[in-house]
Structure formats: structure tokens, C-alpha cells
A and B are shown apart, each in its own frame.
Chain A
Amino acid sequence: MFELLGIPPQALFGQLLLGLINGAFYALLSLGLAVIFGLLNIINFTHGAQFMMGAFVAWMLLNYLGIGYWWALIIAPVVVGITGVIIERTMLKHLYKLDHLYGLLLTFGLALIIEGLFRNYYGSSGQPYQIPAELTGGRNLGFMFLPNYRAWIVVSSLAICLVTWYMIERTKLGSYLRAATENATLVRAFGINVPRMVTLTYGFGVGLAALAGVLAAPVQNVSPQMGSSLIIIVFAVVVIGGMGSIMGSIVTGFGLGVIEGLTKVFYPEASNTVIFIIMAIVLLIKPAGLFGRAA
């Protein structure tokens, strides 16, 4: 068998697959961010905290109410989505006419408060959450051992991404949403309740973050700071893909996951920074992002 830069191909395929799995999280999170930015013009810095809330709600459902993983997949996004709706109704809606910066500051502040509250109640070292019995174990692919749960992450997040893309780009509801971002007044004139649509969109975007959180709970440490380290990377993904581009964020999410995975083999020390290097290069060459339209 051939060797590439001293790495046996088995190891390389394994790393590519792992990159794809991490990319699934990036895609799911950046998708929510892209939807919110595209339709609300809000840079949602609370996204990481909402991802963390998703994982925590799943943990609470299990520990306080005995409700398992599968129901948590539905309940947690709805619960966290409702908190998102409340945030939008009471705070964000006053900021749409102002500069992006105000939305960014508000959501950043909220993220700090939410994380602080969780840390205060649950401490920083995190809570255990087991993989559901149906998805334990794994299979040997010849070049690596693939845990069933990781396969589930890739498949489910890919499906969610594609459904979301289809809803926004190909359905009537999606066309209303897109029209409302272009010209809200005109769309209202056709008798469509735009503010409600915007509120629900924010709730949906937040729900996506929470869903990613539930997916992450069994493999990552469920701790208050689990979102804050991820959110910065996800923002880089959105910037590279092009702010507001749905397909862009999905493709970039998976792509960057793979690049990061490869970095972990060739030069692990840089695995935290490689995405930002790419971001800097993309911004220099194509400031609107890979899939973005220049304003």
C-alpha cells in the first residue's frame, strides 16, 4: 500500500472520517447562525450558550424526569427554542434597525450570563451523559473502528442540514422568509405576519443549536463552557462560507472539519488555529466568503 507523507492510508481515511464527524457539528451550528443572520440580520453570539443549554436540558430530562435520549432530541430543541423566542420578543426585536454591533453585544452579554448561571449551579467540570443503548458499540471498517453513535451524528446532521436548506430555498414558506428579508414592508402588505415569522425563525435557529447540543452530549463533556470554545470556530466557519449563505455554511462546515482533522495528524499543535488561518486567507482573497454574494 502507498503511504502519504509518512502516514499510512488507513490512518488517513480514519482521520478524514473523523473530520467529517466534527464537521457535522460545525455545519449544524453554522447553519443556525446563517439562518438567523440571513433573516434577522443578528449576529447571534448566544449560539454557543444555546448549544450548551441543549445538552444540559437533555441531561436534566434524564436526571430529573427520567426522559431518555430520543425524546430529548425533540423536547430539548423545543424548550431551548422557546427561550430563544422569549429573548427575541423581549430584547432582540428592538435592535433590528440598529447597527449589527448592538445585536452582537447583546447576544454576547446574554451568552456570558447564561454560562455564568449554569456554572454557578452545576460547576465547571461537567455532567455524565451516556450514549443511548441502541447506538452503543460500533463496527470495524477495516481502516478504523467507527462507533455507531458517530455514524448517527453524521447521518442525522446531514439530513437536518439538507431539510433546512430545502425548506428555505425551495418551499413557499421559505420564499416568504427570503422575501421578508429583502423587503419586509412589501411582504406585510401581502398580509403576512412578518414579525411573527422572524420570531419563529430565531426560535428555529436556536432550536438547531440545541439539537446539536443534544447530539454532542453523549460524546462531549456536558459542561457550561462546552459551547464557548466551539462558537468561535463556528463563527469562523460562517465567515469563510459567507455570512447568511445556507448552503455555504453546510459545505464549509463539513469541509473545515476535514481540514482540521488532517491538521491533527500532520501538526496537532496547530489544530486549534488552522481554521482561523484559512479564515484570514479567505477574507483577504474573497471578503464576502466562499459562497457569499458581494454586497
Chain B
Amino acid sequence: MKAIRTLGIAAAAALAAGAANAQISDNVVKIGVLSDMSSLYADIGGPGSVVAARMAVQDSGIEKNGIKVEVIGADHQNKPDVGASVARQWYDVEKVDVILDTPNSAVALAVNQVTREKNKVFVNSGAASSDLTGKQCSPNTVHWTYDTWMLANGTGSAIVKTGGDTWFFLTSDYAFGHALERDTEAVVLKSGGKVLGKVRHPLNTQDFSSFLLQAQASKAKIIGLANAGGDTINSIKQAAEFGIVQAGQNLAGLLVFLSDVHSLGLKTAQGLIFTESWYWDLNDQTRAFAKKFAPQNGGKYPTMVQAGVYAGVLHYLKAVQALKSDADGTKVVAKMKEMPTDDPLFGKGTIRQDGRKVHPAYLVEVKKPEESKGPYDYYKIRATIPADQAFRPLNQGECPLVKG
């Protein structure tokens, strides 16, 4: 009898607590950072993304309003099946309300599906595939930081305009590489360039010399690196060794992150041109963020992906506060799209119907060693691509949400 009475009291207490903060499921907004925590993309998102999410929760001040927020993280090991099963477990068992970050397009596309099925929220920062807001767009997904179309458009057209009109692609052989290659090829062809050949290499390759030799034999003016992380680093490092740039061919890093440049060193990376949507040294607010972030992340400065996680969490929490509920994923995302975004890192912006977050992009060039004032002072901003031109026009993505 006593046990039953205790249970009853506990249930009543739980009900009362539930009523107190309306519709927050299980009384806590649970944020799951699903990323590559241990392999080639771990410095791009990884543990740093968890740091960024925690900072965002703190800066949002949401807990002062009586809403509890919890941040957890997990490693998807770059395997779509692992990513999808973590997502399922998080949503079903751990009562996670929103998944953040998730680099690796193959994993992101899997999580995109699971999130839609479970009617939760997916705010992606780390993955690149423009399919997330294209054919596979979902009313539960926001794609925050960048995508393959943005990279292709920014870097591809800038290079073709300055005379780099014949291309050879070194492509990472999975969803992301294929998307990046496809989007860049379209830009090159549209700008009047030609693609002379391509080679697809397995993810996480140590030795690129064979592929580089094929690129060299093609005599293309530009070797487009449609890969990321450690693969890009190894390609650039070995291209320098084989004298590819000295022989007159140029490298186009289609997706390069701050952490990659740090790892290459300025001596090897100098002169490289690519597109990013965020850099820590843009203005006072971004610098302040970086200064606060770095000590919590082992001295490593934030990448655009980690910045995107920070901004994504802030905006998500704003929408939850406005709705006073985190229960219905579609409604939260609809609210996120309805409210204009405004955060210290990306400034003012919007989220489109297809889930695409829109903000300016920057064409950057890596500084020469003598131009840099020290570690992480790496980029010169060559051009700013305004928000309305940086991303794929809404009607060209074949997103079913837009048609309907």
C-alpha cells in the first residue's frame, strides 16, 4: 500500500511539474550533438561542436526562464548505420529533442530521414550535401552553415573567371564528394569551362600520389579537390611534393576548413583559394566568440561548422521559447523559419522554406607565412558573396516542400 501511495505522489508531482512549464517534453530540452568525435572530421565539428552548443545554451539565457536544457554528444564514426541507430536511440530512449552538427553527408542524410520519421528537429551544420535542402529536404531539417552548391558557386566561378577553365576532379567516393563534384561541374560548365576528367578515391586515403599523377597527366589547369578533412590535407601536401603547382597546375580546395589550414601549415597552404561562410576574424563579435571558445577547446579556434552549431542552438532555443514547447518537431522548425535569425556570429539572416539558412559567404585566400601574425591568423577575405547570391535559388533545388 505504502509503495502505491508513494508512486501516486510521485506521479502527481510529475504532472504538476509538467503543467508548470507547458509543453517542454520531459521537462528538459535535450540537445544531442551527433558528430565525428574521433576520426578525420573530429576537429571540424566533433568535441568542439559540443563546446559550442554548451556556450549557446549559456548565452541564450533560457535557463533563467525556467526551461532546463541538457547537451549530450555521441560519435557516429562516419557510418550512416551507426548515425541512424544513435539518432533512433536518442529520440526513442533518451528523449533527445534536437540533433545538431553531424558532418559527413551520408550520415546526415540518414539522420535527416530518422528525424522526419520521429517528428523531431535536425539542425545540420557539418554536412555539405545540398541534397539536404534539395531533393531530400524535410520539414524537420534546417541546414545552417554551408553546402556544396555554395562552395561550388563561390570557388568555382571565381576560379573560372580568373582563367582556370579546364578542370580535373579528385573526388571523395561517397554522397558528399559526388554532390560537391556535381555542383562544381555545373558551375564550371556554366561559366564556360571544361571538365577533362575525374577520379574517385576511397574516404580516408593516406596516399594520393597515384591520383595526383592522373590529374597531372590530364593537363587540366585546375585540380578540384572534392574531398574534405584529412583527405584534403593529404592531397595538398602531396601535390606540393610532386611539384604540381610549380609545373603550372593549380589546386582548388573546394571544401577547406580552418583546422585543415592549421594542420597544413601556411608554408604549404599559402595562396589556396576557397569559400567559407564564417571566419573568426570577421568582426568584434566573432573575435570575442573565438577568444572565449578556444580555451574550452584545447586552444583550437572555432571552425565555421562549430560556429554554425552555436548559432543553430541559439535560434532553436529562441523558437522553443516562443512556442513554449519542444514537442512537435515540424512546428518548431516552422517557427524557426518564421522568425528572422539574428546571432552574434552570422548576423541577421533567414531560414528558407526548404530549410536552407541564408547568410553571406566569403571567398578567402590563405595568407603567406610572413603576412600572418600567429597561429590561426590565416585568411584574407578576397570577396564577400551577398546572402541572396551565396546559395542555390529556392526554385532550383527540386525540394518538394517548395512546390507544394
Of the four ranges (under 10, 10 to 19, 20 to 34, 35 or more), the interface on chain A belongs to 35 or more
Closest 4 CB pairs of A and B: A128-B265, A124-B42, A125-B43, A264-B210
Q: In chain B, what residue has the closest Cβ to A227?
A: B206
CA distance A214 to B255 in the complex (A): 29
B26 is an interface residue with CB less than 8 A from chain A: no
- The stretch from A30-38, A79-87, A102-110, A215-223 touching chain B is A215-223
Given contacts A138-B243, A223-B230, contact A124 B40 (CB under 8 A): yes
Verify B206–A220 contact, CB threshold 8 A. yes
Among residues 91 to 125 in chain A, which have CB atoms less than 8 Å away from a CB atom of chain B?
Answer: 116, 119, 121, 123-125
B372 is an interface residue with CB less than 8 A from chain A: no
Among A123, A218, A220, A221: residue with most chain B CB under 10 A: A221
Q: In chain B, what residue has the closest Cβ to A11?
A: B217
Verify A125–B202 contact, CB threshold 8 A. no
Verify A229–B238 contact, CB threshold 8 A. no
B199 is an interface residue with CB less than 8 A from chain A: yes
CA distance A14 to B212 in the complex (A): 11
* B 197-212 binary contact with A (CB < 8 Å = 1; else 0): 0011110111101110
Q: In chain B, what residue has the closest Cβ to A146?
A: B242
CA distance A138 to B239 in the complex (A): 13
Residues of chain A within 8 A of B38, CB atoms compared: 116, 119, 124, 225
Verify B206–A230 contact, CB threshold 8 A. yes
Given contacts A125-B43, A125-B259, A149-B241, contact A221 B230 (CB under 8 A): yes
Among A19, A119, A229, A268: residue with most chain B CB under 10 A: A268
A181 is an interface residue with CB less than 8 A from chain B: no
Residues of chain A within 8 A of B206, CB atoms compared: 220, 226, 229-230
Verify B242–A125 contact, CB threshold 8 A. no
Verify A145–B242 contact, CB threshold 8 A. yes
Given contacts A119-B42, A123-B259, contact A18 B213 (CB under 8 A): yes
Cross-chain contact of B233 among A10, A126, A144, A229 (Cβ < 8 A): A126
CA distance A125 to B47 in the complex (A): 13
B135 is an interface residue with CB less than 8 A from chain A: no
* B 27-41 binary contact with A (CB < 8 Å = 1; else 0): 000000000001111
Given contacts A125-B229, A126-B230, A130-B267, contact A219 B238 (CB under 8 A): yes
Residues of chain A within 8 A of B43, CB atoms compared: 123-125
Question: Which residues of chain A have a CB within 8 Å of any CB of chain B?
Answer: 8, 10-11, 14-15, 18-19, 21-22, 116, 119, 121, 123-128, 130-131, 137-138, 144-145, 147, 149-150, 218-221, 223, 225-226, 229-230, 261, 264-265, 268-269, 271-272
Of the four ranges (under 10, 10 to 19, 20 to 34, 35 or more), the interface on chain B belongs to 35 or more
B86 is an interface residue with CB less than 8 A from chain A: no
Verify A147–B241 contact, CB threshold 8 A. yes
Q: In chain A, what residue has the closest Cβ to B206?
A: A220
Among residues 294 to 313 in chain B, which have CB atoms less than 8 Å away from a CB atom of chain A?
Answer: 298, 300
Among residues 238 to 264 in chain B, which have CB atoms less than 8 Å away from a CB atom of chain A?
Answer: 238, 241-243, 247, 259-260, 262-264
Given contacts A123-B42, A123-B43, contact A18 B234 (CB under 8 A): no
Verify B210–A221 contact, CB threshold 8 A. no
Cross-chain contact of A219 among B201, B241, B259, B262 (Cβ < 8 A): B241
Verify B209–A221 contact, CB threshold 8 A. no
Residues of chain B within 8 A of A121, CB atoms compared: 298
Residues of chain A within 8 A of B204, CB atoms compared: 229
Residues of chain B within 8 A of A145, CB atoms compared: 216, 242-243, 247
Given A11-B213, A145-B242, output 11 extra A-B contacts at Cβ < 8 Å. Answer: A8-B217, A10-B217, A18-B209, A125-B260, A126-B230, A128-B263, A147-B243, A150-B209, A229-B206, A264-B214, A271-B205
CB distance from A5 to the nearest CB of B (A): 14
Q: In chain B, what residue has the closest Cβ to A218?
A: B241
Cross-chain contact of B262 among A10, A125, A268, A269 (Cβ < 8 A): A125
CA distance A119 to B298 in the complex (A): 11
B173 is an interface residue with CB less than 8 A from chain A: yes
Residues of chain B within 8 A of A223, CB atoms compared: 40, 230, 263
Among residues 171 to 201 in chain B, which have CB atoms less than 8 Å away from a CB atom of chain A?
Answer: 173, 199-201
CB distance from B230 to the nearest CB of A (A): 6
CA distance A128 to B214 in the complex (A): 25
CA distance A130 to B269 in the complex (A): 12
Pull 18 A–B residue pairs with CB atoms less than 8 Å apart, ordered by A.
A10-B217, A119-B38, A123-B259, A124-B40, A125-B44, A125-B263, A126-B230, A126-B263, A128-B263, A145-B242, A147-B241, A219-B237, A220-B237, A221-B263, A223-B40, A225-B40, A268-B199, A269-B202
Residues of chain B within 8 A of A264, CB atoms compared: 201, 210-211, 214
B224 is an interface residue with CB less than 8 A from chain A: no
CB distance from B289 to the nearest CB of A (A): 19
CA distance A128 to B42 in the complex (A): 17
CB distance from B279 to the nearest CB of A (A): 17
Residues of chain B within 8 A of A125, CB atoms compared: 40, 42-44, 229-230, 233, 259-260, 262-263
CB distance from B47 to the nearest CB of A (A): 9
Cross-chain contact of B242 among A147, A261, A269, A271 (Cβ < 8 A): A147
Cross-chain contact of B210 among A15, A119, A138 (Cβ < 8 A): A15
CA distance A218 to B243 in the complex (A): 15
CA distance A221 to B363 in the complex (A): 25
CA distance A126 to B216 in the complex (A): 26
Q: In chain A, what residue has the closest Cβ to B44?
A: A125
Q: In chain B, what residue has the closest Cβ to A115?
A: B38
